[in-house]
Structure 1
């Protein structure tokens, strides 16, 4: 069972997200808050696996609350929720220690996938945001540990950047899904990451894609 919590100042949003999550048997929403002020206190008494938190809240916003919980060494996964597709907010959230950044107009399937993805150690970001990042923003994710990619790996990485799954990539370029999985493993190794989103960020920073 994956233990979840929701922090959002709008009751309707909190309840809506909780209802969508409750459709999956493997999720349980343990608590909800309407502010970032008491997040650390609540985590101390009732730890969870994944926290979904609004970025814009009065008092203590999502990034401020996230910064505090990371300073206090809480290691739960955090998905920042927003209605704003602002790439700078994404950069700020990632630098503060977010594991994912998700727009609130997400459907049920995508929400469930997002929770599973960050729970399993992956980073989550909207493809539209990745492609809006400017050079200065991208530089915060870059490094020099990049081996040259093959033409096929570069093509696959571009499709990952567009948000396609391995299955969808296989259908798009007429390869077996297992072959695509092998290519993805290879390009992740060359980019020195096990995370698809960070691979895209590194490649964009290095102007590979």
Structure 2
């Protein structure tokens, strides 16, 4: 039986995922968490075979807390779940210590296969993700400006270009508007642009959004 820790701040998504996994043989979701603090508490209470970690989390994002999870449980594989396409986060996830990367619109059996594989001590890389990783390694010496953003800066950038107001971004991430505004300023400076309109244009040109 593979003992799972499910980390996602959306209760409805967790419930749906638990039902999906309950239909499969050999899985047992023995604990769940809605944020980084709760997740760390869970891993300190008991061991797990695999953790499923959402990228978009209130407070600390999934990618930000991934190194901490690995430090607490070095042998516990972590599969990152993301609403974003692989080309946006896969390389960052594996660099942070993920054992697998699965987008939330992938086929359910792909998630099942990924759990089985990482539980065996392997990494799970879907063909589409593998291509993105290879493209990323090929461009290591010539990074684009957005690839130099931190994980939190990148996440906030994507929310801004989707038209989310700074106050709402702060509410979702449990950050003050002033802090979000500071992140925005850093993002614009690193990308060499001066406005949200230019940021949106940059994101479209670099295929960061649909």
Q: Which has the higher helix share?
A: 2
**Mapped contact 2:5–2:29 kept (Cα < 8 A):** yes
- Alignment map for 1:105-184 (pairs within 5 Å): 105-133=105-133, 135-138=135-138
2:70 corresponds in structure 1 to: 70
1:10 corresponds in structure 2 to: 10
Q: For this pair of structures, how many residues does the alignment match?
A: 140
2:191 corresponds in structure 1 to: none
Instruction: Give the drift of 1:8.
Output: 0.7
**Mapped contact 1:103–1:126 kept (Cα < 8 A):** no
**Under a length normalisation based on structure 1, what TM-score does the superposition of the two structures give?**
0.61
> How far apart in 1 are the matches of 2:132 and 2:74?
30
1:138/1:68 Cα in 2 relative to 1: closer, same or farther (>3 Å)? farther
2:52 corresponds in structure 1 to: 52
SS in 2 for 1:38: helix
- 5+ residue gaps, structure 2, are 141-210
1:50/1:136 Cα in 2 relative to 1: closer, same or farther (>3 Å)? closer
2:149 corresponds in structure 1 to: none
> Following superposition, which runs of at least 4 residues in structure 1 exceed 4 angstroms of deviation?
133-136
- Alignment map for 1:194-205 (pairs within 5 Å): none
SS in 1 for 2:68: helix
**Under a length normalisation based on structure 2, what TM-score does the superposition of the two structures give?**
0.61
RMSD: 1.9
- 5+ residue gaps, structure 1, are 141-209
2:80 corresponds in structure 1 to: 80
